[in-house]
Homo-oligomer: A and B are copies of this chain.
């Protein structure tokens, strides 16, 4: 079975670990979000790709969900001693090495997809990880500061401001001119199932879908497309998805996110059991819906979620 998964960071990565457990023989291609990539200290940092790679490769800091385990921060503190920031982005020494290798390869002319494949040779994530695009896309968030609207990098909004101010708009700058990376459309075209993990529907999966050609390829693939709600009981399971959902005019409910994706794209939708009351409404919108436990508390629970998603896909197919 060939499965294509659109993934952001922590939520996507943890779901993928469950999926690998649920379907160990599946051929999984992950299309990773690069809209939250950022240049720091002259180095190219790809937080979502790295979170997937480290999580599946056994290098992740389990507790925080991102970054490397057993990490130290010597380089960062030395940079601070030079007065060079930002200090709000926590790059550790082990993590720095990844960004140094990536930046060196990009500088030598390799596209991001080739660089990602090279980094994965070390991590052996057990999936094929492809960035959504080799072209630069950078998610900006419009916020009001002292009465004036200004656009800031998504990471500044998310990590520095901790989404503490309202997002007025979320713009994946450059997405409209970006091309899907080599292999993205092919993987979608050859997929048996396409999954949207409980990743952020705006700044993770939404950004991937904003690359011209990807949404269309998924809609026209003719295979079940099943998603899992990142909203449980009217609040994001993790992170601050409600803030960016509001910016695109979508309520923070499992049903509203399903309708945001729309029945033209989504065939099936899993909501948490606490949101069982919304199943009928989602189905009325033309999307097959089931209520199952959606908290990724451990690997076995997550694998069960993945099995439910695959089961719903087979139901859709039948």
Contact = CB atoms under 8 A, between A and B. Distances in A.
A101 B40 CA distance: 11
A82 B42 contact: no
A276 B103 CA distance: 55
Given A72-B72, A74-B72, A74-B74, A41 B82 contact: no
A104 interface: yes
Given A78-B93, A96-B75, A41 B83 contact: no
A42 B101 CA distance: 8
A290 to B, nearest CB: 42
Interface in A137-188: none
Nearest to A107: B42
A100 B83 contact: no
Contact of A74 (B41, B78, B79, B93): B93
Interface in A117-131: 118-119, 121-122
Q: From DSSP, what is the main secondary structure of chain A's interface residues?
A: helix
Interface in A31-86: 41-43, 72, 74-76, 78-79, 81-84
A241 B82 CA distance: 34
Nearest to A122: B82
- Oligomeric state, in copies: 2
Nearest to A39: B104
Interface string A95-115: 011101101100110000000
Given A74-B72, A74-B74, A107-B42, A79 B100 contact: yes
A96 B101 CA distance: 13
Contacts of A118: 82
A233 to B, nearest CB: 40
A84 B72 contact: no
A40 to B, nearest CB: 9
A94 interface: yes
Given A41-B100, A107-B42, A122 B72 contact: no
A42 B104 contact: yes
A76 B118 CA distance: 18
9 tightest A-B contacts by CB? A78-B97, A42-B104, A74-B93, A75-B97, A79-B97, A82-B101, A78-B94, A41-B100, A82-B122
Nearest to A104: B42
Interface in A8-43: 41-43
